[in-house]
Amino acid sequence: MAHFFSASEIANIAIEIEKKGREFYLQAAENVTSPRVREIFRYLADEEAKHEEFFRSMVSRLGKVGIPAWATQDEYMQYLSALIESHMLFNDLARQYMIQAGDELEVLRMAMNFEKDTMLFFLEMKELVPDSEKSAVQQCYEEERRHLKELGKVSAQLGAE
């Protein structure tokens, strides 16, 4: 089976996912009325920035991305962009849903779905990389799992109020 992705490519995609996640959390912070929830979303935006730096350091450890023989650089970047854009958070319907969300719990649920989609992305990609690179992809997955746990706690607290 051919491997089209290296661990450094996964880390580069993770950087883009984290950037967009940060944008989502900053927008969510602007859209909520509760100061407490606004602070939570700002915290998560900061966490996404930290994760972006984590993934950037991973890229430097793993080396530069090599373009596969089947594609030009432009074609390959379009392919990677399509992978990112198919992520739940990054399509127009998801943006519209967030704008129309009725309350903070709905936005939190959307954030949890974003984190789950990201975790699924890393699980799927882990299957495509060589064994020698699986641990780096697992690191990406663990970072997102931690986010999901944090969001679950906040959601449970808000739901109990």
Question: How many Å apart are CA 30 and CA 24, to the nearest integer?
Answer: 10
Integer CA distances (angstroms), 20 to 2, 84, 111, in order:
29, 10, 12
Asked whether residue 1 is assigned to any structural domain, the reply reads no
Q: Would you state the pLDDT for residue 54?
A: 83
Is the pTM for the entire model greater than 0.75? no
pLDDT tens across the length of the chain (161 residues)? 344 556 677 778 888 888 888 988 898 888 888 788 888 889 889 988 998 988 888 777 776 555 566 667 677 767 766 766 777 666 666 667 666 766 888 888 888 988 888 888 788 777 666 677 788 889 889 988 998 998 899 889 887 66
Q: How far apart are CA 5 and CA 16, in angstroms?
A: 16
Outline where DSSP puts E strands in the chain: none
Closest CA to 115 of 68, 61, 55, 47: 47
137 part of a folded domain: yes
What is the number of domains present in the chain?
Answer: 1
pLDDT given for residue 49 in this prediction: 94
Q: In angstroms, rounded to a whole number, what is the distance separating the alpha carbons of residues 149 and 157?
A: 13
Whether residue 34 lies inside any domain: the answer is yes
Q: What is the pLDDT of residue 36?
A: 80
- Name the amino acid, one letter, at 28: A
Query: Which pLDDT score, from 0 to 100, does residue 152 have?
Result: 92
Q: For residue 65, give the DSSP letter.
A: P
Whether 145 is covered by a domain: the verdict is: yes
Q: Which residue segment(s) compose the domain that 91 sits in?
A: 7-160
- Asked whether residue 38 is assigned to any structural domain, the reply reads yes
68: which DSSP letter? Answer: P
**Domain presence at residue 83:** yes
Residue 2 lies in a domain: no
- CATH number of the domain where residue 145 is located: 1.20.1260.10
